[in-house]
Amino acid sequence: MLLLTKIFDFETAHAIDGYNGLCKNIHGHSYELHVTVGSIVNENAFLPAPGFLLDFKDLKTIVQKAVVDLFDHKLVLSHNYIAQHPEVLEQENLVSWDAEPTAENLLLFIKWAIQDELPTDMKLVELRLYETKNSYATWKEEVEVYQGDIW
């Protein structure tokens, strides 16, 4: 499989309801999202002109619209959090969510949002979302491993 990766940045504020730590309060992150897509190719031949699996520009357009535009400079809070802090409803950049906006849940949402927008010959293979430079969540397509005569 041949893979392409593009990196995106967005600034988002959130709080985690039910968490016993600093992240229960509204705070922000400079998120970094790595999106890897791929396709099975004939590895014994060059790609036909223009030699792209997918134009990086097209990948950028898809992820920008499906993810970055939704989250950049937004405040993402769960319905549970909002119910306990109704004053946040005054924020014009509020995005209210069914789930807690953890790195894991954001990543699952991002997977759903991107998957359906890719061309049919491209597969979403891996997503990595950095919440800080030291903390990130990864989603990977399960790869079937060939072991002798059984998959």
Ligand X SMILES: Nc1nc2c(c(=O)[nH]1)N=C([C@H](O)[C@H](O)COP(=O)(O)OP(=O)(O)OP(=O)(O)O)CN2
Q: Which residues bind to ligand X, rule: CB under 6 A?
A: 16, 23, 102-104, 131-135
Strand order in the sheet with 27-39: 94-97, 74-78, 2-14, 27-39, 123-132, 135-140
Closest alpha carbon to 62 in 106, 103, 115: 115
Q: If 0-12 CB within 10 Å is exposed, 13-18 middle and 19+ buried, where does residue 120 land?
A: exposed
> Residue 23 CB, nearest distance to ligand X (Å)?
3
> Residue 125 CB, nearest distance to ligand X (Å)?
22
> Residue 29 CB, nearest distance to ligand X (Å)?
6
Of the two residues 93 and 132, which places its CB atom closer to ligand X in the complex? 132
Of the two residues 60 and 136, which places its CB atom closer to ligand X in the complex? 136
Query: If you ran DSSP here, which 8-state letter would residue 147 be given?
Result: B
For the chain, state the CA radius of gyration. Answer: 18
Of the two residues 59 and 131, which places its CB atom closer to ligand X in the complex? 131
SS3 for 88?
A: helix
> Residue 134 CB, nearest distance to ligand X (Å)?
4
Of the two residues 106 and 124, which places its CB atom closer to ligand X in the complex? 106
